[in-house]
Amino acid sequence: MTTMRDLSDTISAQQAELERLREEVARWRRAYERGSKRDIAFSNSEKEVEPLYTALDQTESEAARTEVPGTYPYTRGIHPTGYRGKLWTMRQFAGFGSATDTNARFKFLLAHGQTGLSTAFDFPTLMGYDSDHPRSEGEVGKTGVAISSLADMEVLFGGIPMGDVSTSMTINGPAIIIWAFYVAAAEKQGVASEQLRGTIQNDILKEYMAQHAWCFPIEPALRLIVDCFEWGATHAPLWNTISISGYHIREAGATAAQELAFTLADGFEYVEHGVARGLSVDDFAPRLSFFWDIHNDFFEEIAKLRAARRIWARHMKERYGAKSAKSLLMRFHSQTAGVTLTAQQPMNNIVRVAYQAMAAVLGGTQSLHTNSMDETLALPTEEAVQVALRTQQLLAFETGVPNVMDPLGGSYYVEALTDQLEAEAEAIFAEIEAVGGVVAGLEQGWFQRKIHESAARQQWEIEQRRRIVVGVNEFETQERALEIPTLRIGDVAREQAERLAAVRAQRDNAACEALLARLKEAARGTENVFPHILECARTYCTLYEIRRALEDVFGAYREPVFF
């Protein structure tokens, strides 16, 4: 029988052993620092990195350290079989010129083994303008595909069975309209919305923070997103109605911890708006997805993804009372970091992308886009896109990395980093709460200032050579610049203007005017506007006509002056 004295002796022995281990680790670190030329090392997020990590650096409970994939809180992955059950979806971001141009690129990618489509839109489309709008001049088809009506969407997916592919669409301000075009185009192919798989980014909060492609003020924009949640839960159960994106926050200059915290805070804000509508959290949360930037600091990125899953699961369960296990699962897409690509020595970008892709996979991503080496110079060529896709295929089929889920689980360093990033995120949540929440923080410019400060510090570090960028501020060469063939596109603006003129001439304009009037009336009330937007799409109302109808009711967003 164990006595209190026995327990006391055991505890004393354990404490003595703990002190011995602490002193041993401290002695090792002192010896390392005396002999090292790099006495202090920092991560890319300016966090000091110790020369050695041990079990003493792990702060999570024993239960967390013995966790297995597919079990709460999902630190080690959301699926018990990992990639042995299903590989991640391999996507390449594609979109340029007209719908005809991009349709050809889609078919090229599918023919070369891509398993999902990811659509880039040009800037007029991102802002909700038709290609023949005066504000679109000079931008049509330049940074993505131009989509102004259902007619363009029909061409974009012509010959591509929309019931068989998973499609991601990177658009936010007018996302609800573009999604309606997609649903209507699928109907033309005989594919019901219930069969559609894919994602609409639809994350407006990060636009106000970082990317600045918006249409409407914050609260009406949030209403439109919840309308997508509500309609999608019933009519498109396989579709992800939002991709809550840290990618653009990180690309704008945020640290890994800021990307983690700001993105999750946005996610919580969307959940709260859905619940305020009267939706059950378990009705819409399973179709919320995330999108992360995978930067250069290999271990930090892996730890970030692990921490993200754990934080999301815990908050959904404890804070929002989710009952369904599917509501707790953070499913996410990842993309290698565009901001890390360099115009100098662009072949180096292939290596950067490969390391970043491996970090994403070791972190357990469900979907991955690998950037092309020439994207910092021009729209990527087919050869560069093929190399980027082959990078994923080599990772999947030649390295053995997918054979084990979370193979770095239990690593003293990775576990300590995971704990550290989680703690930093929770501290940032408290700061956000102190400024009044996400919406108030945006209105006050708090998020914007934090990102700008971080970006300025990183740029200063590069200029001062405190942060080495190979080929840019160190290991520079004078060889002739790599010749990258420029992707040529036709006169897209003219082609788009002609298509729009034909659409307006052939459609039932009286029906369009009536449907747009009904949409305005619905927007003035509280009903879900998606069915009205879908009817407008089916009748070939254009993107800007639908945006303008909503803008007449909601107004347009004007960014406050913060500085």
Q: Considering the entire predicted model, what is its pTM?
A: 0.88
- Rounded to the nearest 5 percent, the helix, strand and coil shares of the chain are 55, 10, 35
pLDDT for res 13:
67
Q: For residue 227, what pLDDT band results from cuts at 50, 70 and 90?
A: very high
Task: Quote the mean pLDDT of the chain.
Answer: 90
pLDDT for res 409:
94
Architecture, CATH, for domain 79-463: Alpha-Beta Barrel (3.20)
Two structure tokens written together for 302: 């892996």
Mark out the alpha helices in 159-255 (DSSP H runs): 175-188, 205-206, 218-235, 247-251
Contact status, residue 360 vs residue 368, Cβ threshold 8 Å? yes
Question: 169-211, pLDDT tens digit by residue?
Answer: 999 999 999 999 999 999 999 999 999 999 999 999 999 999 8
- Among 39-43, 418-422, 509-513, 526-530, the range scoring the smallest mean pLDDT is 39-43
Q: To the nearest whole percent, how much of the chain has pLDDT over 70? A: 89
- Among 68-77, 106-115, 513-522, the range scoring the smallest mean pLDDT is 106-115
Q: Taking residues 83-103, report their average pLDDT.
A: 87
pLDDT for res 537:
98
Q: Taking residues 488-509, report their average pLDDT.
A: 90
Q: For residue 300, what pLDDT band results from cuts at 50, 70 and 90?
A: very high
Contact status, residue 555 vs residue 216, Cβ threshold 8 Å? yes
DSSP state of 136: G
Domain segments of the chain: what residues?
Answer: 79-463
For 482, other C-beta atoms within 10 Å of its C-beta total: 13
pLDDT for res 375:
86
Q: For residue 478, what pLDDT band results from cuts at 50, 70 and 90?
A: confident
Residue 292, pLDDT > 70, answer: yes
DSSP state of 207: I
Question: 129-174, pLDDT tens digit by residue?
Answer: 999 999 999 999 988 999 999 999 999 999 999 999 999 899 999 9
